[in-house]
Amino acid sequence: MPNEAGQIWREYDISPYTLRVHTTARPELAVVDWILRETGYQAWHTEPLGILSVTQRTLRVYHTPQMQAVVAEIVDRFVNTAAQTQAFGLRVITVDHPNWRAKSYRVLRRVPVQTPGVQAWVLPREDAALLLAELRRRSDYREHNSPHLLIPNGQSTVVSSIRPRSYARDVTLRPDTLQGYEQELAQIDEGFSLEFSPLLSLDGKTIDASIKCHIDMVERLVPVVIDVPTPTSPRQRVQIEVPQVSHFRFHERFRWPENEVLVLGLGVTPIPVPAENQGVLGGLPIKLPGQSSSRGELIVMVESRGKQGEPAAPAPTAARPTYQGRY
């Protein structure tokens, strides 16, 4: 094979990782995903010639020595025995107003974010527990996934709440029918999807995580009236609908200390608020025709939960959590 850039062939044993992961059918794909995040996709599709291939037990790489060093570091983070049972907790929360910052801004340490309108912070676990308790006291607090959700090191999970919404998209003239026309129905999916992929560093002191969020919400269905005359009904009219849709896209990578909690505030966006009396795992709101969608802030909290199978350190609790004396 061409090796004008000094490419070399190496095979990496990833079986120590893939044999202990039973939550997905093909855990080896997570290794490839993280290599592509670290090196970029173009490094494998342009010059110099590169090959990246994986099976359940072996990762095969043909590239420059510099690229092999990057790949080796990623593989070590997966097969490292210290991280083999590491798990991460993820909470997806919505509130109607972003004023929760007013009581907590002194304990939030800001970290850089590239997406406009989005903010990110890290804070100690004790302060994160108090922040969560304060959020839970709000009447507009909603949690959209199980608080006991655990994600194995290196794997990805998706928290989503999606529902189809039907509407009348078009009308077709059909003289052979009684009405003289046929209405064409369509559907559009609305809701949110959040993908989270964590990976512990080799020394176990920092966490790398890729977080991707998509929100698609139908704000309203704009009615349009179309004339559909027939010999028996020359003034017949039919209404179709045009969706007015809001989209939100977020995809960034973060690195923070393992003993702290990452908090993301995605800004005021269309959000899937559970319907009343349906609990934290309720569905999307039921909207009347023409009603605008709900807006609020989507908050994401991420923390390391330690090794699976070991008792986690108890979170600090208080009968009436406050921030008195802190400010």
Average pLDDT over residues 187-194: 91
Q: Is 222 within the bounds of a domain?
A: no
**Structure confidence at residue 308 (pLDDT):** 65
Average pLDDT over residues 194-215: 92
* CA–CA distance, 151 with 132 (Å, rounded to integer): 20
Q: Is 36 within the bounds of a domain?
A: yes
Q: Is 94 within the bounds of a domain?
A: yes
Is 122 found in the same domain as 36?
no
Q: Is 117 within the bounds of a domain?
A: yes
Confidence check: pLDDT of 206 > 60? yes
Is 156 found in the same domain as 69?
no
Share above pLDDT 70 across residues of the chain, in percent, rounded to a whole number: 86
Per residue in 3-32, pLDDT (tens digit) is: 899 999 999 999 998 888 877 889 899 999
Please give the helix or strand (H or E) that residue 184 lies within, else none: strand 181-200
Is 14 found in the same domain as 105?
no
Domain that holds residue 301: 86-163+195-216+247-307
Among candidate residues 292, 245, 295, 244, the one with its CA nearest the CA of residue 271:
295
Is 128 found in the same domain as 47?
no
Which of 79, 106, 136 is the C-terminal boundary of a domain?
79
Is 209 found in the same domain as 64?
no
Q: Which residues of 54-83 are buried (b: 16+ CB within 10 A; e: fewer)?
A: beeeebebbbbeebbebbeebbebbbbeeb
Joined tokens for residue 138: 């709000």
Is 117 found in the same domain as 18?
no
Is 92 found in the same domain as 144?
yes
* CA–CA distance, 77 with 71 (Å, rounded to integer): 10
Least confident of 59-68, 109-118, 243-252, 288-297: 288-297
Per residue in 112-151, pLDDT (tens digit) is: 999 999 999 999 999 999 999 999 999 999 998 877 788 8
Average pLDDT over residues 230-255: 91
Q: Is 188 within the bounds of a domain?
A: no
Q: Is 276 within the bounds of a domain?
A: yes
Residues 6+ apart with CB under 8 A from 291: 220
Average pLDDT over residues 146-159: 84
Give the count of alpha carbons within 13 A of 207, CB side only: 27
Is 117 found in the same domain as 66?
no
**Structure confidence at residue 277 (pLDDT):** 36
Q: Is 156 within the bounds of a domain?
A: yes
CATH of the domain at 21: 3.30.1370
Confidence check: pLDDT of 276 > 50? no
Which of 52, 79, 106 is the C-terminal boundary of a domain?
79
Mean pLDDT of the chain: 84
* CA–CA distance, 57 with 16 (Å, rounded to integer): 8
Which of 18, 47, 79 is the C-terminal boundary of a domain?
79
**Structure confidence at residue 122 (pLDDT):** 97
Confidence check: pLDDT of 83 > 90? no
Could you give the number of structural domains in the chain? 2
Residues 6+ apart with CB under 8 A from 33: 156, 197
Is 96 found in the same domain as 55?
no
* pTM summary value: 0.78
Is 44 found in the same domain as 146?
no
Q: Which residue has the tokens 């690229």?
A: 67
**Structure confidence at residue 281 (pLDDT):** 35
Confidence check: pLDDT of 326 > 80? no
Is 289 found in the same domain as 264?
yes
61 touches 52 (CB < 8 A): yes
Is 133 found in the same domain as 67?
no
* Three-class DSSP category at 193: strand
Full DSSP string of 228-281? ---SS-TT-EEEEEEEEEEEEEEEEEEEEETTEEEEEEEEEEE--PPPTTS-TT
* Three-class DSSP category at 170: strand
Confidence check: pLDDT of 279 > 70? no
207 DSSP assignment:
E
